[in-house]
């Protein structure tokens, strides 16, 4: 996932989870998503702010981070942690993504 967040705007970022290059088409078992910016300097969690995450789609996750506060504009490395019944402690899905907050 790479993207740009315009703080104070309604733009969203959509991404699909890939397994060996193939999109996972069933996200129904996901119970929580955590986005760690710059190795945990900032954490955005679907349990804390569920309105910022749309986990209802079965083929993608939608992030609506325009209302995020406390994160300065800049470029951040992203670590995506996905939770489900099979992974109650979280599964680090991706740690190579980048996101820009403007």
Low-confidence ranges of the chain (pLDDT < 70): 1, 25, 95
Give the model's pLDDT for residue 95: 67
**Residues listed for the chain:** 102
Give the model's pLDDT for residue 77: 92
Domain that holds residue 68: 2-101
CATH of the domain at 12: 2.60.40
Tokens of residue 40, six digits: 């945990």
Give the model's pLDDT for residue 15: 83
Contacts 24+ apart (CB under 8 A), 37-43: 37/71, 37/76, 37/77, 37/78, 37/99, 38/76, 38/77, 39/77, 39/79, 40/79, 41/76, 42/70, 42/71, 42/76
Give the model's pLDDT for residue 25: 67
Number of domains in the chain: 1
């Amino acid at each position: 996932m790479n993207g740009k967040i315009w703080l104070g705007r309604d733009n969203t970022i959509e991404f699909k989870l890939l397994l060996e290059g193939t999109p996972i088409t069933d996200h129904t078992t996901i119970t929580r998503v955590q986005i760690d910016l710059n190795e945990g300097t900032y954490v955005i969690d679907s349990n804390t702010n569920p309105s910022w995450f749309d986990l209802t789609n079965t083929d993608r996750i939608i992030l609506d981070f325009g209302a995020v506060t406390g994160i300065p504009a800049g470029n951040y490395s992203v670590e995506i942690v996905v939770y489900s019944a099979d992974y109650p402690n979280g599964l680090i899905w991706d740690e190579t993504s980048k996101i820009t907050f403007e």
